[in-house]
Amino acid sequence: MNLGFRIALFSLIILFNACSTLRLKPANFAWPVESVLQADENGIITNERYSLSFNTAGVFYEEFKDSAGYKNTEIRLLRNTNGYYFLTAMNFKNVYVFEIDDGDLVLENKILVDANGLENPALNQREAFVELISGEIKLFLTKDGIHMDEDKK
Mean pLDDT of the chain: 89
The tens digit of pLDDT for each residue in 11-44 reads 666 656 556 788 888 889 998 899 999 999 999 9
Domains of the chain, residue spans: 25-152
The helix (run of H) or strand (run of E) holding residue 12 is helix 3-19
pTM: 0.82
pLDDT at position 23 is 87
Task: State the average pLDDT over residues 75-82.
Answer: 96
pLDDT at position 76 is 97
The tens digit of pLDDT for each residue in 35-71 reads 999 999 999 999 999 999 999 999 999 999 998 899 9
Q: How far is it, in rounded angstroms, from Cα 10 to Cα 137?
A: 60
For residue 111, the one-letter residue type is I
Q: Is the peptide bond before 26 cis (omega within 30 degrees of 0)?
A: yes
Q: Which residue has the higher pLDDT, 1 or 65?
A: 65
Q: Which residue has the higher pLDDT, 90 or 25?
A: 90
Asked if 98 contacts 148 with a C-beta cutoff of 8 angstroms, the reply is: no
Strands (E), the chain: 35-38, 44-47, 52-55, 74-79, 85-89, 94-101, 104-112, 122-125, 130-134, 137-142, 145-146
Residue 80: helix, strand or coil by DSSP? coil
pLDDT at position 2 is 74
pLDDT at position 66 is 92
Nearby residues of 121 by Cβ (< 8 Å), 6 or more positions away: 76, 88, 89, 90, 92, 132, 133, 134
